[in-house]
Amino acid sequence: MSARLDIIAASAGHADHTVLHDINIAVQPGEFVCLVGPNGAGKSTLLKLAAGILPAREGDVHLGGQDVSAMSARERARHMAWLAQERSAAWAMRGVDIVALGRFAHEGRPYERLPQAARERVNEAITRCGASTFAHRPVDTLSGGEKARIHLARTLASGAPLLLLDEPLNALDPRHQLDVMALLQAEAGRGTAIVLALHDLAMARRHAARVIVLDQGRVVADGPPATALNPIILADVFAVQAAADGGYAPA
Ligand SMILES: Nc1ncnc2c1ncn2[C@@H]1O[C@H](COP(=O)(O)OP(=O)(O)OP(=O)(O)O)[C@@H](O)[C@H]1O
């Protein structure tokens, strides 16, 4: 199945609150897309809609031309990996066991019983995320940034052609943030479609080929960073302006 994601005239929400309105987004294999917007704009809701975790109230979500709502959970997990904003684990599994969950929809086995090739994929993902030194420790003993890298490794280990990542840079120090952005760019270069929610506009501007701006549940800009993050959007949506030092100041 191709990694092409199509969200067509979709709305979605929680309980009696419709958060997203008339969303139309197409993401091609190999695209690296940053999703930005103020708190509560609907970024996490949109990623959950794309992942098939939340149903569309109107419209459709297709992956490789197939209706996501008609796919089984296992089928979805083979074709897309979702990194939740919340990184808690229900119990103190080792990091490596969490990363191996990325393979569960394929092999249906824990790390120790994975076939050699799948175990190598898990180990490779751990290495690429710089998590080798702590991957065999229980996750409840890891720092926030270490936990973040374990969970990112889980999404990479899945080999899914679409990655939906909710604030993957949270809790990472500046160097690890840069490393993760470079890693994701390389992953996109291999043909993986990547959509990540991000608060750091400077990071989005520097690394993304395409930025989608969400405001109050609607897409208000979608294009190259310089276009999508233009001065009007910055002021109207984020209430900031570009500052001389390359950062942002209140508008
Ligand atoms: N489970 C839920 N039940 C009810 N309302 C929810 C739920 N999850 C989110 N919301 C509401 O939906 C809206 C969009 O939330 P969402 O988490 O998608 O925003 P976001 O852009 O990801 O925000 P942030 O940048 O703060 O993470 C908010 O008003 C939020 O309060």
The domain spans of the chain are 5-87+162-250
Instruction: Calculate mean pLDDT across residues 195-220.
Output: 95
Instruction: Calculate mean pLDDT across residues 185-214.
Output: 95
ipTM strictly over 0.90? yes
- Whether 88 shows a pLDDT value over 80: the answer reads no
- Whether 1 shows a pLDDT value over 70: the answer reads no
**66-67 and 248-250: which strand pairing?**
unpaired
- Give me ligand 1 centre to Cα 174, in Å: 26
Most informative mutation of 43, 167, 220 for ligand 1 (most atoms within 8 A of CB): 43
What are the tens digits of pLDDT across the range 51-81? 999 999 999 999 999 999 999 999 998 999 9
| Ligand 1 site residues, Cβ closer than 6 angstroms | 14-15, 17, 19, 37, 39-45
At the second CATH level, the architecture of 5-87+162-250 is 3-Layer(aba) Sandwich (3.40)
